Structure 1
Amino acid sequence: MIKNQIAQILRHNGTYPVREVLFLFTLAGVLFFSSLSYAFWLWSPSSGKWENPKYPPIKENAQKQFEFAKQLFEKGDYQRARDEFKRLLKRYPDSVYAYKGEFLLGKVYESLKRPYLAFQTYKDCVANYPYGDQLEDIAERECRIGEFFLEQEVRKVLGLELSLPQEKAIEIFKEIRKQAPYTEWGALAQYKLGICYQRLKKWKEAIAEFNRFINEYPEHSKVVSGDANYQIALSYSESILNADYDQKRTAKAIKYFKDFVIDYPQNEKIKDAKEKIVRLEERVAEGLFKSASFYRQQGYTESARTYYNEIIDKYGETSWARKAEEELEKINQMSNI
């Protein structure tokens, strides 16, 4: 009937009202697409309902729905497994299988290469079911995801940073610390927080996190071996090497490295620590030498002499010690004239 009316409209060369024409075309479109949609639905005599073969009806209880979704996951059909686990959580949120399903949903997202979605799912799983028996397993998986973001390179376009994956890593490690502080993963997350801040060149925050790690996990292998103390010294060192000279922070870095060398002689980073001490002492000696030169130019010879002597006494192994000796000889020669 609609076809006949449209044909009449066309034969009348547009003499029908525009509103009537639009209505008939709209109605025809609705009926056409409705007929297409019905092609995806079939009548099921057993359930007495129309069913879409692509989306079978949810199972009659949580266990069967969980097992169905799990089978899909084990077969590697991750997209469908994701959908079926979501249906489980929506229909049976209070079931013990909902907890198991949300945990497996996180694993599904890992398989789909969606690590941040996996973390968010694990986080919700712990929040929704805080007494579940998968807490340590979840913390371990979250830790691996955090390490993934920690190791990612910063994405840039035209020199502008698009994202800082280490910030996601910080979010994840803080969540693990809150969820499972007394597990090995909680301890590792605390240590990794310091590493994250180092990658972001936030040295003050890095030092604070490593100190917290030492205080809260004094028996951890990374404390006993001296690794955490090394990271504190390294953070002080890195914070000054590419910045204006800061005598106080430089002195702290030297002290931490020297304490590390004395307290942990078997640590594999001993050689690196000694090299950094030499570099830092060179910088301190250079600063003292510049101060001495300034006072000498201003005519304060005794003040200059004091700085030169300090270089020789405290930093005699540096290249500046020989220069200080030469300047002292000149001062003494001038005094004898």
Structure 2
Amino acid sequence: MNSKNLRPLLIILSIIGTVFYAQTAFSFWVWTPETNKWVNPKYSVKETPAEQLQLGIDLFESKEYKESIKEFKKLLKHYPRAREAPEAQFYIGKCFENQEEPFKAFKQYQKVVEKYPFSELAGEIVQRQYDLGIKLLDGQTQRSSILTTLAGNNYDVIEIFKAVIKNAPYGDLAAPSQYKIGLYLLEHNLFQEARDEFEKVLNDYPNSEWIKAAKYQIAITDSKRSTTAQYDQK
């Protein structure tokens, strides 16, 4: 085929490609008479934060967690000061929690505490964070000692319980959180560190119901530390 015959073919192919690209590009855009604009539903946001929040909740209740997170993030981006913003951030945490990602859930819940310190959700968030810490702690306890040695320690557990203490230092969950930190360290044979944390239960929460348990664990810690020292000397 000579160049004269090839040129019309190239022009036709170019036109077809342009039309196809235009159709593909505009297929993602929708004309809205209310605003007289083309909008992409993927990036569009509802006219009010309440409507945007409800959209995210509807997706959450349908267990479409990834899409739900996207809609809540839109609310936070476009309506950062709206009264619905703390709840949107809270639901992002719930999405990760329902997807069995406890540490990511903890991080998202913590954002509510840090960005919206006067939110009415604070009490529920502290409880959820504590429950997530227990879940991670139980998972660590169930791991074999060999697996723990290979994988190393997971200090996410400590970070969560410390956050619970910081978020509600005078709450009912502060003392047990402090105790759980010591328990985690003891289970990983960090005897001195564990003892220090159990001592904090005695010093910081002298009237707590966890005093007796902390004293018992201190005795266990001292016993194990002594046994380990004797073994190392042999």
TM range (shorter): 0.7 to 0.9
Q: CA deviation at 1:148?
A: 1.7
The separation in 1 between residues aligned to 2:87 and 2:156, in whole angstroms, is 25
The separation in 2 between residues aligned to 1:163 and 1:32, in whole angstroms, is 54
Instruction: Assess if the C-alpha contact under 8 Å between 1:240 and 1:246 holds in 2.
Output: no
Residue 197 of structure 2, aligned match among 176, 194, 209: 209
- Aligned Cα RMSD in Å? 3.3
Residue 159 of structure 2, aligned match among 171, 174, 179: 171
Q: CA deviation at 1:134?
A: 1.7
Q: CA deviation at 1:115?
A: 1.3
Is 1:152 the counterpart of 2:150? The answer is: no
Q: How do 1:128-277 residues align onto structure 2 when only pairs under 5 Å count?
A: 128-153=115-140, 161-165=150-154, 167-223=155-211, 226-244=212-230
Q: What is the TM-score when the length of structure 1 is the normalising length? A: 0.59
Residue 121 of structure 1, aligned match among 101, 105, 108: 108
Alignment gaps of 5+ in structure 1: 12-20, 248-286, 288-337
Specify whether residues 194 and 27 from structure 1 end up closer, same or farther in structure 2 by C-alpha distance, changes over 3 A only. farther
The separation in 2 between residues aligned to 1:31 and 1:240, in whole angstroms, is 80
Instruction: Assess if the C-alpha contact under 8 Å between 2:176 and 2:210 holds in 1.
Output: no
Deviation readout 1:129-172 (Å, 9 max, x if unpaired): 1121222211111111111221224599999633533x110111
Specify whether residues 214 and 33 from structure 1 end up closer, same or farther in structure 2 by C-alpha distance, changes over 3 A only. farther
Specify whether residues 193 and 31 from structure 1 end up closer, same or farther in structure 2 by C-alpha distance, changes over 3 A only. farther
The separation in 1 between residues aligned to 2:63 and 2:35, in whole angstroms, is 29
Q: How do 1:300-311 residues align onto structure 2 when only pairs under 5 Å count?
A: none
Deviation readout 1:18-54 (Å, 9 max, x if unpaired): xxx9xxx99997875554232222223333222334x
Q: How do 1:287-302 residues align onto structure 2 when only pairs under 5 Å count?
A: none
Instruction: Assess if the C-alpha contact under 8 Å between 2:198 and 2:214 holds in 1.
Output: yes
**Identity level (%):** 32
The separation in 2 between residues aligned to 1:197 and 1:94, in whole angstroms, is 41
Instruction: Assess if the C-alpha contact under 8 Å between 1:174 and 1:190 holds in 2.
Output: yes
Is 1:88 the counterpart of 2:75? The answer is: yes
Q: How do 1:32-47 residues align onto structure 2 when only pairs under 5 Å count?
A: 32-33=20-21, 35-47=23-35
Specify whether residues 140 and 159 from structure 1 end up closer, same or farther in structure 2 by C-alpha distance, changes over 3 A only. closer
**Aligned length in residues:** 227
Q: CA deviation at 1:175?
A: 1.4
Q: Which amino acid aligns with 2:120?
A: D
Quote the residue 2:51 is aligned against: 64
Is 1:73 the counterpart of 2:71? The answer is: no
Q: Which amino acid aligns with 1:74?
A: E
Could you say what secondary structure the match of 2:230 adopts? coil
Deviation readout 1:259-312 (Å, 9 max, x if unpaired): xxxxxxxxxxxxxxxxxxxxxxxxxxxx9xxxxxxxxxxxxxxxxxxxxxxxxx
Could you say what secondary structure the match of 1:43 adopts? strand
Q: Which amino acid aligns with 1:142?
A: Q
The separation in 1 between residues aligned to 2:165 and 2:82, in whole angstroms, is 27
Spell out structure 1 runs of 4+ moving beyond 3 A.
Answer: 25-35, 153-160
Instruction: Assess if the C-alpha contact under 8 Å between 2:175 and 2:210 holds in 1.
Output: no
Specify whether residues 159 and 218 from structure 1 end up closer, same or farther in structure 2 by C-alpha distance, changes over 3 A only. closer
Q: What is the TM-score when the length of structure 2 is the normalising length? A: 0.83
Deviation readout 1:181-208 (Å, 9 max, x if unpaired): 1111222211111111112211111111
The separation in 1 between residues aligned to 2:19 and 2:144, in whole angstroms, is 49
Q: Which amino acid aligns with 1:49?
A: K
Specify whether residues 157 and 195 from structure 1 end up closer, same or farther in structure 2 by C-alpha distance, changes over 3 A only. closer
